């Protein structure tokens, strides 16, 4: 079987400046190859961003279509930006019957309203990370909908030997108003928190290896799956404007009035919390994870036994103080979460599950 991944080769900042090459884990390449290639399957990549920057958007679409016609993959897996693909290309892909097209709805909690509901009908299979999106997809005629969480690449995120846990609490991820509130509550209580990510004062971490090292060094790893809804200048502006897409000419900011109502619905959906990759990455490093409850997290971990849940800022502060003082209990929870992740939550196993569900077992 030939499998094609359509993804981005680079990680970009908000102004589309290249930050670094995307890790194999980031673009799903390594865990899919780990699952498929030992069984004799072929895993190819088409880097859409490389094609856009080299040839322009229209030519990139033509090259992807030609690549599919020439190589005839059995399965094509993609998360997508509708401005990259375009409706005509998706219609052509859907109408040909050689390749099964699988859409990864990773941020369906809020992207469904703005993006997925308009384009999901062009895919043969939908994989959504949000259990609440299943009925939404079915309501627009999508019959083949799979719900699964992302899991973790265990070849990358793992325990490091002879590592000293010299960081009390860490968080690595994008800044948001709600995340800042939780971090500030800890800092105001005198708890030192190591924080890195886009939008934070100390900036981002540049490599995946650094992320893994910091999680391993942490006594408590925060997976702040807080809701990202807030009312403020930036959130209101986003209802009317969008950032330019990769390779798009003109201003960095574009008027987006035609999508105003979709933007409003998407904004309101950000009140929901959802399970994220970090929920599995922290436990894979053998560190005790502390997070808020979200969506179907209870189906993946025993709450209070394998990871720790907090309800609000006050509860977060109290539990962080408690577990920093009770190291044996903390490390027992970390060990349970680690073992559960190794058994059930690798990306390799996720891909094996997904391919079995679509009738093409690896």
Torsional class of 81: left (φ above 0), alpha (ψ -120 to 50), beta (otherwise):
beta
Angle between the 347-357 and 29-36 helix axes, to the nearest 10 degrees?
60
Each residue of 52-80: b (16+ CB within 10 Å) or e?
Answer: bbeeebeebbebbeebbeeeebebbbbbb
Torsional class of 210: left (φ above 0), alpha (ψ -120 to 50), beta (otherwise):
alpha
Domains, the chain, in order of start with CATH, read: 2-151+347-357 (3.40.50.2000), 167-229+271-344 (3.40.50.2000)
pTM of the model: 0.86
Q: What does the pLDDT profile of the chain (362 residues) look like in tens digits?
A: 999 999 898 888 778 888 788 876 666 888 899 999 999 999 999 999 999 999 999 999 999 999 999 999 999 998 766 678 888 998 998 898 899 999 988 888 888 888 888 888 899 999 998 888 999 999 999 999 999 888 898 989 999 999 999 999 999 998 888 899 999 999 999 999 999 998 899 988 878 899 999 999 999 999 988 777 678 888 888 888 888 888 888 888 889 888 888 888 887 777 777 788 899 999 999 999 999 998 889 999 999 999 999 999 999 999 999 999 999 999 999 999 999 999 999 999 999 999 999 999 99
Please, are residues 12 and 18 in contact by the beta-carbon 8 Å criterion?
Answer: yes
């Amino acid at each position: 079987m030939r499998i094609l991944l359509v993804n981005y080769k680079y990680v970009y900042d908000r102004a589309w400046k290249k930050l670094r090459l995307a890790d194999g884990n980031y673009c799903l390449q390594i865990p899919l190859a780990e699952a498929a290639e030992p069984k004799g399957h072929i895993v190819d990549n088409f880097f859409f961003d490389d094609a856009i920057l080299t040839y322009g958007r229209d030519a990139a679409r033509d090259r992807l279509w030609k690549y599919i016609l020439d190589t005839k993959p059995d399965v094509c897996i993609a998360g997508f930006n509708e401005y990259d693909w375009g409706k005509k290309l998706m219609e052509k892909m859907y109408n040909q019957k050689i390749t099964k097209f699988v859409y990864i709805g990773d941020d369906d909690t809020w992207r469904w309203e703005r993006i997925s509901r308009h384009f999901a009908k062009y895919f043969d299979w939908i994989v959504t990370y949000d259990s609440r999106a299943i009925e939404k997809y079915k309501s627009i005629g999508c019959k083949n909908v799979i719900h699964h969480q992302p899991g973790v690449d265990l070849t990358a995120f793992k325990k490091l030997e002879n590592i000293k846990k010299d960081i009390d609490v860490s968080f690595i991820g994008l800044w948001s108003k709600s995340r800042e509130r939780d971090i500030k509550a800890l800092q105001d209580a005198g708890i030192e928190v190591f924080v890195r990510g886009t939008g934070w004062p100390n900036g981002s971490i540049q490599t995946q290896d650094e992320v893994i090292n910091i999680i391993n060094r942490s006594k408590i790893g925060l997976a702040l799956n807080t809701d990202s809804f807030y009312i403020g200048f930036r959130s209101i502006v986003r209802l009317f404007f969008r950032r330019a897409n990769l390779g798009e000419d003109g201003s960095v900011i574009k008027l987006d009035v035609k999508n105003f109502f979709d933007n409003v619905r998407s904004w309101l959906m950000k009140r929901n919390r959802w399970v994220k990759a970090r929920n599995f990455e922290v436990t894979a490093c053998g560190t005790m994870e502390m997070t808020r409850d979200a969506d179907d997290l209870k189906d993946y971990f025993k709450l209070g036994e394998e990871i720790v849940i907090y309800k609000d800022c006050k509860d977060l502060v109290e539990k962080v103080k408690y577990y920093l003082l009770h190291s044996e209990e903390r490390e027992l929870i970390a060990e349970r979460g680690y073992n559960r992740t190794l058994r059930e939550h690798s990306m390799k196993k996720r891909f094996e599950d997904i391919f079995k569900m679509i009738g093409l077992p690896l």
